[in-house]
Amino acid sequence: MPRFTPSLSAIPPSLIIGLVGLPVCIALYAGLVGGDGATWDHILQNRLMPYTLTTLLTLFIAAVIMLGLAVPAAWIVTQYEFPGRNVFSWALILPLAMPGYVMAYAWADLMGVSGPLQSQIRDVTGLSARDYWFPNLFSTPGLAFVLASTLFPYVYITARAAFSMQTRATLEAARSLGASPLDLFWRVALPVALPAILGGLCLALMEAAADYGAADFLGVQTLGVGIVRSWTSFGEPNTAARLALMLVCIAFVFLIVARLYQGKSGVQQTSTRWLTPERSALSPSMAWLATLLCATILLLCFVAPIARLMWLAVETEARTTDLLPLLRSTLLLGLFGTALALCAALVFTLAAKRSRALRMGTRLIAAAGYAAPGAVLGLGALFFLRETGQPLAGIVAVALLVWVYVSRFTSAGVEPMQATLDRLPKNLDLAAQSLGSRGLRQFWQVDLPLILPGALAAGLILFVEILKELPATLMLRPFGWDTLAVKAHAYATDERLAQATLPSLMIVLAGLFPVLLLSWRLNQGERK
Amino acid sequence: MSAIHPLIADQVSRSFGATAAVEAASLTLEPGEITALIGHSGSGKTTFLRLLAGMERPDRGQILSGDTVLASDTQHVPIEKRNIGLVFQDFALFPHMTALENVMFGLRGTAKPDRMKIAEKWLDRLGLTSRRDAYPHHLSGGEQQRTAIARALAPNPVAILLDEPFSGLDPSMRDRVREAALSAVRDAGMPALLVTHDASEALVHADSIAVIDRGKILQTGTPDALYHQPQRVEVAKALGPVHSIDLESLPGQWRAAIGSTTGTVHYRPEAIQLGTGEPVMVRGSKLAGAVTEVALALDETNTVYAACQPGAPLLPGDQIQATINPSLVFDFTPKMT
């Protein structure tokens, strides 16, 4: 058992743990004991059951699509040589830059009755719009497709890592025992990589469960949508809290399962030679088939939606008139949020280094914030505000919103900093202390300079995450504080897609930076 | 059981870019024999094994099992169709399968109970009966290696190739595992290739040895023949320490014993025997396990190195006597004929 030694240096981290953990705790508390408003029967029958079932169905379909996209792509990229392999290997991560709601706008336009796909069908066949069946994006499977197409890189990244870490010898041993290439995949590579793949899938599903924007735009009644509507439209805070409790439970299950699988990356630990499997050549026709598969995935999940949005922006000469104030409030909120979350993450990381009890506390709270969807945290903040009796306006609302950002994204900032620290020699602290550097001096002279590269990466990631955040911003922003995400969503739900394109594209552009950073770091890791 | 044929490499070459990894290498692996292939890292021994196994395609030359062509200019039987057993340095067991399932992996074409019986037989042969349901990460290094050997032998392959199979093991268990593993391989009766950089392993355990250097197989023969009659200095060096010296600097009695008078010769340290003979002076000595290495001054500038049984301590400056055993002196200078 870690012994708890009270000390002054434990106060700031403890305070920040409280700050980060409070919104989700309030929301959970309200969900468990909140007793006023609509009856439990009404909530269960009319709200909780339908929202939950829709959410679970969406997640199930999304899981199937993500596995179908990511696992074959990861396998051929790690095992075979084919035209464009080098580019696809990292480009298949790019869809992560697109928030689900932007993907939904683009596909809604691509697949709409007057969109390019249906027009083409009518031109070619001469049929009219009523004479043929066309898949409807505004449906549960449609939402699942949209979410899967932005989130499948989570699965792709873990599958690629798991496949490329399998020793060449293991695969060659299987072949020498008569295994065909297909056998190799089904009997050896996939079972070995499965824990890692499921871990990645759970993280992706956790993100999918947290979606609000895509579901709201596509009119699919998921829990995220339900929470916001129950509060804003139905005036049933009690229902919102119950839905939030359910959503947090679902998200936590995924997070816990992902963490369970993370330990066992599925790679044999006895190997002394961890060679990346040598990629085999394919016959020309098979090689082009592999290229076609990867190109199709990239086209569907990134190129086509982006190209469509760009085309829309140019063709309609869409002018988002109030772009300047939008940029100003987005930038301000992003900077406030990033600065505070970065400080919180820094305190967490350093505290975790010093004390085991604090490490457990910070990990737990950071994970709670990470798993809790923005809608839930926004709800927690609203309950908090209601207790204090303050109106949701002005500086109070801005502070509340920044607080929710800190609560939601601190853990995203801890990770890159932790990764930087993990790479350092373990005895560095002792070395610094043996040379007389302690406390604040150690922080300025040793810890801070060392952690800086990780902190810069963390800052970038945090800023973009905040920029993309939709549900909490939507719930809490005061008048005049619309962000790019909020405005894009407002235009899109208003069926003014053309006006939504410019803010959407700006979000994607910003989102590309952390994704490229991630891709670069993954490549560095593989080269080691 | 199918008839057992030798596995033959005939003038096999393989280059990677401009580097020739294996050059016109010929070697015949006889059934029931363990042939050791020794060379230092980068000598081409692993590439040669990969060519035999079918993981690489030769640029030129043929690989045959008996009369069956496995690889030639026109043909290439892929690894999964060759039925050649492989054992790797890092064991390469399937981490998601038990020891029994690992051994059963290569068995096919029969009902599951039969396959289980065959696998159990092999686990039993290698002393692993009690570990059959253990996963690789619960097995010790030695147990993993024996499981890997059982897995390679179970499908009754036409040959078995072992790539540094014992160098990953703890020295304390290496001898025991090696004994058990190699006796199972020898009993199985198929041709076996043991790739190693450990000369003593090859000398003790192989029936014949091939020395490979810079992609070329320099000499093949029994351990005794290679140790005592190496045809090239590289072969002599591959099998144990050798030193070189000018004949002119040797005492006359030694030159007479060797039988020639000019040029450079190589000798193994145990060729110098202390006791009687020519007077020499001790320059230094150090204990190296089972033997003592002694540097002996012949005169101001020339030194020879001897390996002898540890005995009374030899101190620098001691005057002693020594003879030379000509059978451990090699003359590699090209003979005019």
DSSP one-letter string for A176-233: HTT--HHHIIIIIIHHHHHHHHHHHHHHHHHHHHT--HHHHHHT---HHHHHHHHHHT
A182 touches chain B (CB under 8 A): no
Instruction: Report if residue A20 sits inside a domain.
Output: no
CA A106 – CA A95 distance, rounded (Å): 13
Instruction: Report if residue A514 sits inside a domain.
Output: no
Residue scoring higher pLDDT (A502 or B60) = B60
Q: Which amino acid is at A83?
A: P
- Taking CB atoms and an 8 Å cutoff, what residues of chain A touch B105? 174, 177, 179, 187
- pLDDT at position A72 is 93
- Taking CB atoms and an 8 Å cutoff, what residues of chain B touch A182? none
CA dihedral A200, A205, A211, A215 (to 10 degrees): 130
Q: Give the residue among A29, A20, A31, A28 at the shortest CA–CA distance from A402.
A: A20
- Taking CB atoms and an 8 Å cutoff, what residues of chain B touch A283? none
Q: Which of A49-53, A492-496, B13-17 is the least confident region?
A: A492-496
Pick the most confident of A234-248, A249-263, A280-294, A420-434.
A280-294
Q: Give the chain B residue whose CA is nearest to the CA of A176.
A: B80
- Taking CB atoms and an 8 Å cutoff, what residues of chain A touch B84? 176
Same structural domain, A292 and A374: no
Residue A332 belongs to domain with CATH number: 1.10.3720.10
Cβ <8 Å between A170 and B93? yes
Tokens of A87: 């580019």
Q: Give the residue among A120, A141, A138, A139 at the shortest CA–CA distance from A129.
A: A120
CA A389 – CA A385 distance, rounded (Å): 6
Q: Which amino acid is at B231?
A: Q
Same structural domain, A176 and A276: yes
CA B63 – CA B67 distance, rounded (Å): 10
Residue scoring higher pLDDT (A61 or A242) = A61
Domain span holding position A442: 323-481
* Cα radius of gyration rounded to whole Å, chain B: 24
- Taking CB atoms and an 8 Å cutoff, what residues of chain A touch B136? 268, 270
Same structural domain, A281 and A308: yes
Instruction: Report if residue A519 sits inside a domain.
Output: no
Same structural domain, A381 and A293: no
Residue A527: pLDDT above 60? no
Cβ <8 Å between B105 and A191? no
Please report, for residues A460, B2, B158, the alpha-carbon distance to residue B70 in angstroms, rounded to integers and kept in the order given: 57, 17, 11
Q: Give the residue among B98, B162, B165, B105 at the shortest CA–CA distance from A186.
A: B105
Express each pLDDT in A281-338 by its tens digit: 788 888 999 999 999 999 999 999 999 888 888 887 666 667 788 888 888 888 888 8
Enter the DSSP assignment of A278. P
- A268 min Cα distance to partner chain B (Å): 5
Which residue, of A262, A290, A320, is where some domain finishes?
A320
A280 touches chain B (CB under 8 A): no
Kindly state the average pLDDT of the residues A353-362.
72
Query: Computed from CA positions of residues A482, A485, A490, A495, in that sequence, does the dihedral angle turn out positive or negative?
Result: positive
- pLDDT at position B123 is 93
Enumerate the β-bridge partners of residue B9.
B27, B63
Q: Quick one: what percent of chain A has pLDDT higher than 90?
A: 13
Decide if the complex's ipTM is over 0.90: no
Instruction: Report if residue A465 sits inside a domain.
Output: yes
Phi-psi region of A186 (alpha: psi -120 to 50; beta: other; left: phi over 0): alpha
Kindly state the average pLDDT of the residues B8-28.
89
Q: How confident is the model at residue A528 (pLDDT cuts 50, 70, 90)?
A: very low
Q: Quick one: what percent of chain A has pLDDT higher than 70?
A: 87
CA A225 – CA A244 distance, rounded (Å): 10
Same structural domain, A280 and A429: no
Kindly state the average pLDDT of the residues B306-334.
84
Instruction: Report if residue A49 sits inside a domain.
Output: yes
Q: Give the chain A residue whose CA is nearest to the CA of B84.
A: A176
Q: Are strands B84-87 and B159-163 parallel, antiparallel or unpaired?
A: parallel
Q: How confident is the model at residue B170 (pLDDT cuts 50, 70, 90)?
A: confident
Q: Give the chain A residue whose CA is nearest to the CA of B162.
A: A173
Same structural domain, A70 and A101: yes
Which residue, of A287, A320, A353, is where some domain finishes?
A320
Q: Which of A186-190, A266-270, B57-61, B266-270 is the least confident region?
A: A266-270
- pLDDT at position A13 is 73
> Cβ of B71: how many Cβ atoms within 10 Å?
22
Instruction: Report if residue A377 sits inside a domain.
Output: yes
Cβ-nearest to A188 among B53, B91, B94: B94
- pLDDT at position B2 is 52
Same structural domain, A173 and A311: yes
Same structural domain, A292 and A352: no
Same structural domain, A359 and A297: no
Q: Are strands B208-213 and B291-297 parallel, antiparallel or unpaired?
A: unpaired
- Taking CB atoms and an 8 Å cutoff, what residues of chain B touch A162? none
Instruction: Report if residue A3 sits inside a domain.
Output: no
Express each pLDDT in B171-226 by its tens digit: 888 888 888 888 888 888 899 999 998 888 899 899 999 999 998 999 999 999 99
- pLDDT at position A271 is 38
Same structural domain, A431 and A297: no
Do residues A141 and A61 lie in contact, with contact meaning Cβ atoms separated by under 8 Å? yes
- B291 min Cα distance to partner chain A (Å): 33
CA dihedral B158, B164, B168, B174 (to 10 degrees): 80
Tokens of A172: 């060659």
Kindly state the average pLDDT of the residues A259-283.
56
- Coil, strand or helix: which one is A7? coil
Instruction: Report if residue A1 sits inside a domain.
Output: no
- pLDDT at position A268 is 40
Kindly state the average pLDDT of the residues A71-76.
92
Residue A278: pLDDT above 80? no
Q: Give the residue among A35, A49, A24, A55 at the shortest CA–CA distance from A376.
A: A24
- pLDDT at position B254 is 86
Same structural domain, A298 and A357: no
Kindly state the average pLDDT of the residues B53-80.
88
A165 touches chain B (CB under 8 A): no
Which residue, of A320, A335, A357, is where some domain finishes?
A320
Tokens of B11: 């003038």
Residue A2: pLDDT above 70? no
Express each pLDDT in A378-390 by its tens digit: 888 888 888 787 7
Same structural domain, A405 and A390: yes
The alpha-helical segments, DSSP class H, found in B16-111 are: 45-53, 79-82, 99-104
Please report, for residues A4, A263, A360, B32, the alpha-carbon distance to residue A1 in angstroms, rounded to integers and kept in the order given: 9, 22, 12, 60
Tokens of A289: 């088939």
Q: Quick one: what percent of chain B has pLDDT higher than 70?
A: 98
Do residues B322 and B273 lie in contact, with contact meaning Cβ atoms separated by under 8 Å? yes
Q: How confident is the model at residue A273 (pLDDT cuts 50, 70, 90)?
A: very low
Express each pLDDT in A175-194 by its tens digit: 888 888 888 888 888 888 88
How many contacts does A have with B, using Cβ atoms within 8 A?
Answer: 87
- A261 min Cα distance to partner chain B (Å): 14
Residue A425: pLDDT above 80? no
- pLDDT at position A247 is 87
| Tally of domains within chain A | 2
Please report, for residues A108, A141, A216, B226, the alpha-carbon distance to residue A58 in angstroms, rounded to integers and kept in the order given: 17, 7, 13, 72
CA A297 – CA A275 distance, rounded (Å): 28
Do residues B249 and B255 lie in contact, with contact meaning Cβ atoms separated by under 8 Å? no
Residue A90: pLDDT above 90? no
Tokens of A476: 């809490």
Residue A54: pLDDT above 70? yes
Express each pLDDT in A462-495 by its tens digit: 888 888 888 888 888 888 888 888 888 888 888 7
Pick the residue of B79, B161, B163 with the most A CBs within 10 A to test the interface with A by mutation. Answer: B79
